[in-house]
Amino acid sequence: MPTSPFTWPAEARDIASATATRLLPCGPTSVMIEVDDTEQAAQLAAHLRSAGLVGMIDLVPAARTVLVTCSSAHALAEVATIAVGFVPDERPPMGGIVVEVPTVYDGDDLGSVAETTGMTVAGLIDLHSSTEYRAAFCGFVPGFAYLTGLPEILCLPRRQNPRPRVPGGSVAIGAAFTGVYPTTSPGGWHLLGRATVAMWDSSRPRPAFIEPGDTVRFVPVPGSGTR
Amino acid sequence: MIEIIAPGPLCTVQDLGRSGWAHLGVGSSGAADRSSHRLANRLVGNPVDCATLECTFGGLRVRFDEAVYVALAGADCPATTDPYHPVGHGQAVALAAGTELVLGAPRTGLRTYLAVRGGVDAPLIMGSRSTDLLNGLGHPPLVVGDRVGIGADPGTEMPVHHAPPRPSDDSPIALWPGPRHHWFTAAAHRALTGAAYDVLGTSNRIGTRLQGVALERSVVHELPSEGIIEGAVQVPNDGQPLIFLADHGVTGGYPVIAVVDPADIGRVAQARPGERLRFRWSR
């Protein structure tokens, strides 16, 4: 029979019971922190990153959680303390940089998305490129950033049938996110265009063009709206 | 230089991995059995973060252009030189220039680490020489005819000892509760630590796949993707657990019931298809 599963640092355990931020156990050197939504997870990740804790190795924001891996139980307890004291702001500093993605809006799904949303193609391009997004988290493949802030009218379910091959660089929307496929891969998002910069290059000092916390704008470049 | 004459089923360059990039979607990779990788390095006087060759199920045949000290650790496979001379496991061995080293299939275990004094010199990508098979980073898996360099002599003293063979350990693998352990029934918790699980042949550097009593969930709604660590015991919808190893993805969409104690991850990485693993809760 298993003994009590809660055998991680006592400090963190005591704090966990008194807060709305959920601390979930994840082995002796990691903790999963659960919040209410993607925006809060991104904020908490930025908050933890800015704390610059020695002993924090990896910090992975996701849809509703932040996973933190530390080099010691002591650092883990510090992370837990910061996490439970965290209060989400309405418009917090995210700590990232402003990134502009030059985009040719000539995606295969421009027409169908315009039709579904009742917009013109020009109106769709204008709306997508005039909105400021925030990189909430990366995943799927290296350098694939999930960008939040997509206007509600563009929040469409994923395609019925995912494409087996989405070209690398494709700018796309899916559910509540927009993003750019760094490499050619299968994908179920709606394709609006293509970025003219590489999203991922492991030989760059900053391998990912977009990092969590960044503010992102898509800038239309010639060729948009034609195919 | 090291010339690959035959790579065996899978031979990759590995070090301690590239940690600190998970937020960009890149996992740490690195030696699947880090303690054996460290041991091989120590035996030839290397810093533990020097790259070694990770050989899955032996079969490696290499030729050294220059005189080298090498050491083998991890899965214990018969090793010889050509011209024939037996090579011991777990000890530093001096080889003359031009010698070929030949590894057979391991008697036990799965992954053998070949350290060369000076370290294997492959390009450093994001701070590591490791081959990440999931993301295609680092030197691709070695193929016939590949030549990889050897780093500078570390200038350390050569150890005079050898590592005694590790006693065989079939005690249960230690687990910590995972972030979603409460998504599973009491029966699932009992099965996880009470039943034995078979290691499947579909296991790889991404994860060790298991088959046994299905782990039933008490919470059945979808899980939004969340971070994954090495050693995470994830349970897909069929209830058959898999344990993530060095090349795991950084996020996953199925609940993690438990996390293997870091000290036991090497044992999981050495479990061969067909072996059975048992688990216990860590104390």
Burial class (CB in 10 A: 0-12, 13-18, 19+), A94: buried
Nearest to A62 among B193, B251, B259 (CB): B251
State the pTM of this model. Answer: 0.90
The SS3 call for residue A216 is strand
Contact B189 A2 (CB under 8 A): yes
> Hey, which residues does B121 pair with through a beta bridge?
B149
Cα A211 to Cα B25: distance, rounded to the nearest angstrom: 10
- Tell me: pLDDT of A18 over 90: no
Contacts of residue B28 in chain A, CB cutoff 8 Å? 58
Longest CA–CA separation in chain B, Å: 62
Q: State the fold for domain B173-281.
A: Cyclophilin (2.40.100)
Give the angle B262-B263-B266 at the CA atoms, nearest 5°. 90
Work out the percent of chain A whose per-residue pLDDT is above 90.
Answer: 67
- Tell me: pLDDT of A17 over 80: no
B164-201 per-position pLDDT tens digit: 777 778 899 999 999 999 999 999 999 999 999 999 99
The whole-number pLDDT of residue A4 equals 39
The whole-number pLDDT of residue A70 equals 95
Contact B20 A57 (CB under 8 A): yes
May I ask the CATH class of domain A10-85? alpha beta
Residue B160 corresponds to which tokens in the numbers above? Answer: 């005079």
The whole-number pLDDT of residue A9 equals 46
Burial class (CB in 10 A: 0-12, 13-18, 19+), A91: exposed
Long-range CB contact pairs, B125-128, < 8 A, 24+: B125/A202, B125/A203, B125/B18, B126/A202, B126/A207, B126/B18, B126/B21, B126/B26, B127/B18, B127/B20, B128/B15, B128/B16, B128/B17, B128/B18, B128/B29, B128/B30
Nearest-by-CA chain B residue for A56: B20
Do residues A9 and A48 touch, judged by C-beta distance below 8 A? Answer: no
* Number of helical H runs and strand E runs in chain A: 5, 13
The whole-number average pLDDT for the span A176-182 is 95
Please report which helix (H) or strand (E) contains residue A39, including its range.
helix A38-51
The whole-number pLDDT of residue B163 equals 83
Taking alpha carbons only, the member of B212, B218, B180, B166 closest to residue B193 is B212
Residue boundaries of the structural domains of chain A = 10-85, 98-220
Contacts of residue A137 in chain B, CB cutoff 8 Å? 23, 251
Rg of chain A in Å (alpha carbons): 20
May I ask the CATH class of domain A98-220? mainly beta
Name residues whose C-beta falls within 8 Å of residue B153's C-beta, 6 or more positions apart in sequence: B117, B118
CATH 2.40.100.10 placement within chain B: 173-281
The whole-number pLDDT of residue A172 equals 97
B223 touches chain A (CB under 8 A): no
The whole-number pLDDT of residue A2 equals 39
B271 touches chain A (CB under 8 A): no
Residue A17 corresponds to which tokens in the numbers above? Answer: 């019971």
Cα A180 to Cα A103: distance, rounded to the nearest angstrom: 10
B226-240 per-position pLDDT tens digit: 999 999 999 999 999
Contact B177 A140 (CB under 8 A): no
Contact A138 B23 (CB under 8 A): yes
Cα A100 to Cα A210: distance, rounded to the nearest angstrom: 9
The whole-number pLDDT of residue A19 equals 52
A117-153 per-position pLDDT tens digit: 999 999 999 999 999 999 999 988 899 999 999 999 9
- Tell me: pLDDT of A7 over 60: no
Cα B99 to Cα B130: distance, rounded to the nearest angstrom: 26
The whole-number average pLDDT for the span B268-281 is 96
Q: Which of residues 147-176 of B touch A (CB under 8 A)?
A: 176
Residue indicated by tokens 């216990």: B280
The whole-number pLDDT of residue A159 equals 87
B14-63 per-position pLDDT tens digit: 999 999 999 999 999 999 999 999 999 999 999 999 999 999 999 999 99
Cα A171 to Cα A133: distance, rounded to the nearest angstrom: 13
Cα A6 to Cα B63: distance, rounded to the nearest angstrom: 51
B281 touches chain A (CB under 8 A): yes
- Tell me: pLDDT of A103 over 50: yes
Regarding beta strands A177-180 and A170-174, do their DSSP bridges make them parallel or antiparallel, or are they unpaired? Answer: antiparallel
Contact B19 A58 (CB under 8 A): yes
The whole-number pLDDT of residue A93 equals 67
**Which residue would you say has higher pLDDT here, B201 or A85?**
B201
- Tell me: pLDDT of B248 over 80: yes
The whole-number average pLDDT for the span A17-37 is 85
B132-144 per-position pLDDT tens digit: 999 999 999 999 9
Work out the percent of chain B whose per-residue pLDDT is above 70.
Answer: 100
- Tell me: pLDDT of A12 over 80: no
Q: Name which of B133, B137, B219, B226 to mutate to probe chain A: the one with the most chain A Cβ atoms within 10 A of its Cβ.
A: B226
